[in-house]
């Protein structure tokens, strides 16, 4: 990776940034100083023009177009949309028609506002209807519900629990008439007419029975007539909303233009943000960035095509200067970049670990699934997903596919075909049946873990040797190799103990070499030997491979047994097929998810802890990443 400093004419800036975006060669970073410029005072006096207003405007426009697409998508049934094939010149036409297309988005916004207002009004009217429903039994006009010179008129409700006692109390009044209008929810509703001489008694009764008087305001007509008018208004609003939805459907044909404009706006926004990293004077601009070493000449040729007035310089990163990390791996390895990056992007001064992550992650995923049937489904599903997906999802498809291939291999070795269906059909394992020989299978899993730990230490040694720290590689890795390999060999070869002793002595004498006094060196050596418990713990962690393999196998066997028990007749065969398919689908999903998580954990915790340095920044060049459009391939000239 090389640093880039570019100075050019301000009038060429847009064209150059467009070319950078078309090719994806350069990651532009914020400029703090310019290589080769010694006059810092002059540099700091330059006008740092920002594009904040333009960026804010573009973000607002993007938000409006995204809203319009959601609005139309929610109201118009659309099939899975394919990419819109365009030529580069089509983008200029879309940009020229930007205001016209944005007006479509504004219409969608207006429709949405009007629709919300209609919904709000319908909701209020519906609440009004609910208010009058309890009074349907009242066949009087509400404007007549007024006190007279001798009569008090009241309409109200009491809690249902008090209704019977309230009726009994009012019935005791000689000059009172009560009409029970029924119950609604938690209340009972009444219409009462009584002589004014009963005012004090009525006041006591309303207080005692929690009588709530209703106020109908200036409404006129009977409750039934009022509800009828409200329903008419609600129906009219419904018609307005239907008409509005029909007009919205007519805009469905505008979706492709909105989709294209959204991608064009996103590209312009990316360029404006990149331009905001540059330093701009009245007539010139300067920017800084990073380019892959293999693209340096391509970058210069690209700039030459845009302008002849420029100054371009390349420089290697300074010692300990972080730089963007770009990993480029062969096809079987590249999907596992996703696994590594989920943990962390490698530091710029580290190495790309994916070449060793790939085989072990596939091995772990395949072992924990350990079934030919599941492996076939994973391989096919991963392949199809990989074909359709993009970016990180595409890589995930590759991880699933290769894990499925590994699962097929392990399934053949362990004799697992959709659980124990292979055993039921007489298919024998090539290696062993983990259900019959669990101790042997556990030993294999721990052995794989032991090898994995040693490989991680080997990568650390490689990094030290690459930095020409040969003695560190010998002292910090080589002696551990002797000790860790010597201990298990003692059970087979008599000379294994000499390897272990040599390794232990080497660690004792060298692990504390950075301490200044003799006591520190001795304590450092002894403390290092205690680290063997950590390695033992690391290796034991790989027992999870066996645990997940066994759990998946047992669940598969259970579903097989249930299917066989159900399938005793024609109807049973149907339900047996359902149990078999759904059961194994469930087991595949849960087991696959667990295998991915635990396989990744073994990589992150037991493997990366031996050598990995994270905290890096992935190389992110200015580039096109449209969501809806795809560029027409240019014909070879």
pLDDT tens digits, 78-133: 655 678 888 888 888 999 999 999 999 999 999 999 999 999 999 999 998 988 88
How high is the pLDDT of residue 247? 86
Per-residue pLDDT at 290 exceeds 90: yes
Residue 559 lies in a domain: yes
Instruction: Give yes or no: residues 556 and 480 share one domain.
Output: no
Choice between 99 and 517, residue whose per-residue pLDDT is larger: 99
Domain limit, last residue, from 487, 513, 540? 540
pLDDT on residue 543: 96
Q: Which residue has the higher pLDDT, 402 or 389?
A: 402
φ and ψ of 492, to 5 deg = -115, -45
Window from 18-27, 141-150, 179-188, 437-446 with minimum mean pLDDT = 141-150
**Domain identity same for 515 and 551:** no
Give the up-direction half-sphere exposure of residue 430: CA atoms within 13 A in the CB hemisphere: 9
Of residues 513 and 74, the one with the higher pLDDT is 74
Q: How confident is the model at residue 511 (pLDDT cuts 50, 70, 90)?
A: confident
Q: Is the pLDDT of residue 189 over 70?
A: yes
Q: Is residue 530 domain-shared with residue 565, that is, in the same domain?
A: no
How much is the pLDDT for 459? 95
Least trusted range by pLDDT, from 96-100, 231-235, 507-511: 507-511
Q: Say how many residues make up the chain.
A: 637
Residue 395 lies in a domain: yes
Is residue 574 located within the same domain as residue 561? Answer: yes
Task: Establish if 502 belongs to a structural domain.
Answer: yes
d(Cα 581, Cα 586) in Å, to the nearest integer?
9
Average pLDDT of the chain is 88
Check pLDDT > 50 for residue 637.
no
How high is the pLDDT of residue 520?
62
Both 375 and 520 in a single domain?
no
pLDDT at 334: 94
Q: Note whether 589 and 516 are same-domain residues.
A: no
* DSSP string over 248-272: HHHGGGGHHHHHHHHHHHHHHHHHH
Q: What is the mean pLDDT of residues 432-436?
A: 92
Q: Do 535 and 549 share a domain, yes or no?
A: no
Whether residue 40 lies inside any domain: the answer is: no
Query: Residue 102 domain-assigned?
Result: no
Same domain, yes or no, for 606 and 504?
A: no
With respect to residue 119, please indicate whether it lies within any of the assigned structural domains: no
Distances from the Cα of 124 to the Cαs of 203, 230, 233, 241, in angstroms?
A: 33, 10, 11, 16
Sorted by sequence, the CB contacts under 8 Å of residue 302 that are 6+ apart come out as 19, 20, 23, 25
- Count of domains for the chain: 3
Section 196-225 average pLDDT? 86
Q: Which domain holds residue 510?
A: 469-540
Q: Does residue 422 sit in the same domain as residue 558?
A: yes
Q: Domain check: are 564 and 423 in the same one?
A: yes
619 vs 76 pLDDT, higher one:
619
Domain-located, residue 585:
yes
- Does 495 have pLDDT greater than 60? yes
Among 215, 241, 257, identify where a domain stops: 215
* 476/390 same-domain check: no
We report the CATH number of the domain holding residue 150 as: 3.30.70.100
In a domain, 312, yes or no: no
Q: Evaluate if residue 447 carries a pLDDT over 80.
A: yes
- List the single range of 10-14, 507-511, 539-543 with lowest mean pLDDT: 507-511
If asked whether residues 554 and 532 sit together in one domain, one would say: no
> Which residue pairs from 406-409 have beta carbons closer than 8 angstroms and sit at least 24 positions apart in sequence?
406/362, 406/363, 406/365, 406/366, 406/367, 406/375, 407/365, 407/366, 407/369, 407/370, 407/371, 407/372, 407/374, 407/375, 407/378, 407/379, 408/366, 408/372, 408/375, 408/376, 408/379, 409/366, 409/375
Specify the range with the lowest mean pLDDT, choosing from 106-115, 244-253, 334-343. Answer: 244-253
- The residue out of 197, 215, 233 marking a domain boundary is 215
From first CA to last CA, the distance across the chain in angstroms is: 32
Q: What's the pLDDT score for residue 550? A: 95
Given a cut of 50, whether residue 635 has pLDDT beyond it is no
Q: Which pLDDT value is given to residue 517?
A: 67
Q: 40-44, 198-202, 234-238: which has the minimum mean pLDDT?
A: 40-44
137-142-145 Cα angle (round to 5): 100
Q: Does residue 429 or residue 49 have the better pLDDT?
A: 429
Contact of 8 with 26, CB cutoff 8 Å: no
More reliable by pLDDT, 518 or 497 = 497
Q: Tell me how far apart the alpha carbons of residues 516 and 173 are, in angstroms, rounded to a whole number.
A: 107
How much is the pLDDT for 76? 66
């Amino acid at each position: 990776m090389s640093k880039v400093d570019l100075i050019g004419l301000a009038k060429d800036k847009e064209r150059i940034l467009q070319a950078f975006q078309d090719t994806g060669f350069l990651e532009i970073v914020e400029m703090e100083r310019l290589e080769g410029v010694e006059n810092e005072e002059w540099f700091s006096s330059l006008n740092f023009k920002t594009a904040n207003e333009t960026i804010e405007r573009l973000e607002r426009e993007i938000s409006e177009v995204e809203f319009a697409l959601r609005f139309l998508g929610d109201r118009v049934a659309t099939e899975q949309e394919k990419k819109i094939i365009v030529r580069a010149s089509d983008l200029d036409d879309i940009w020229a028609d930007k205001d016209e297309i944005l007006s479509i988005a504004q219409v969608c916004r207006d429709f949405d506002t009007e629709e919300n207002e209609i919904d709000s009004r319908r909701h209020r009217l519906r609440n009004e209807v609910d208010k009058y429903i309890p009074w349907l039994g009242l066949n009087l006009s509400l404007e007549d519900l007024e006190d007279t010179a001798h009569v008090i008129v009241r309409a109200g409700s009491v809690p249902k629990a008090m209704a019977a006692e309230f009726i009994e109390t009012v019935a005791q009044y000689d000059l009172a008439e009560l009409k029970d209008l029924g119950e609604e929810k938690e209340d009972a509703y009444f219409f009462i007419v009584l002589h004014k001489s009963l005012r004090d008694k009525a006041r006591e009764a309303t207080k005692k029975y929690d009588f709530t008087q209703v106020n109908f305001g200036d409404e006129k007509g009977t409750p039934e007539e009022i509800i009828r008018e409200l329903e008419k208004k609600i129906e009219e609003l419904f018609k307005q909303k239907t008409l509005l939805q029909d007009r919205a459907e007519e805009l469905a044909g505008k979706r492709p233009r909105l989709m294209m404009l959204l991608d064009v706006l996103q590209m312009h926004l990316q360029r404006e943000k990149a331009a905001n990293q540059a330093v701009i004077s009245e007539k010139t601009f300067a920017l800084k960035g990073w380019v892959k070493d293999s693209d340096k000449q391509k970058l210069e040729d690209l700039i030459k095509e845009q302008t002849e007035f420029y100054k371009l310089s390349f420089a290697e990163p300074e010692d300990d200067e972080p730089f963007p990390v770009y990993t480029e791996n062969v096809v079987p390895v590249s999907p596992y970049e996703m696994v590594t990056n989920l943990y962390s992007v490698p530091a710029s001064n580290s190495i790309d670990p994916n070449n060793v992550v790939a085989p072990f992650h596939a091995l772990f995923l395949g072992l924990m699934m350990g079934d030919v049937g599941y492996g076939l489904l994973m391989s096919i599903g991963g392949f199809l997903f990989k074909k359709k997906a993009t970016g990180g999802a595409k890589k995930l498809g590759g991880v699933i596919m290769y894990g499925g291939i590994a699962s097929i291999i392990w399934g053949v070795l362990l004799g697992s075909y959709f659980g124990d269906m292979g055993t039921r059909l007489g298919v024998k394992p090539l290696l062993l049946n983990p259900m019959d020989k669990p101790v042997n299978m556990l030993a294999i899993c721990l052995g794989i873990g032991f090898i994995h730990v040693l490989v991680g230490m080997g990568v650390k040694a490689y990094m030290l040797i690459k930095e020409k720290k040969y003695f560190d590689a010998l002292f910090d890795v080589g002696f551990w190799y002797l000790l860790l390999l010597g201990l298990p060999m003692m059970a087979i070869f008599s000379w294994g103990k000499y390897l272990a002793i040599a390794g232990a002595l080497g660690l004792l004498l060298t692990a504390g070499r950075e301490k200044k006094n003799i006591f520190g060196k001795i304590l450092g050596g002894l403390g290092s030997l205690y680290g063997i418990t950590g390695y033992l713990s690391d290796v034991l962690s790989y027992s999870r491979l066996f645990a997940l393999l066994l759990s998946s196998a047992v669940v598969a066997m259970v579903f097989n047994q249930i299917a066989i028990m159900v399938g005793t007749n024609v109807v049973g065969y149907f339900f047996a097929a359902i149990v078999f398919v759904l059961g194994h689908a469930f087991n595949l999903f849960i087991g696959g998810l667990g295998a991915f998580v635990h396989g990744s954990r073994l990589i992150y915790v037991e493997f990366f802890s031996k050598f990995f340095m994270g905290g890096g920044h992935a190389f992110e060049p200015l580039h096109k990443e449209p969501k809806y459009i795809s560029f027409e391939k240019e014909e070879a000239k």
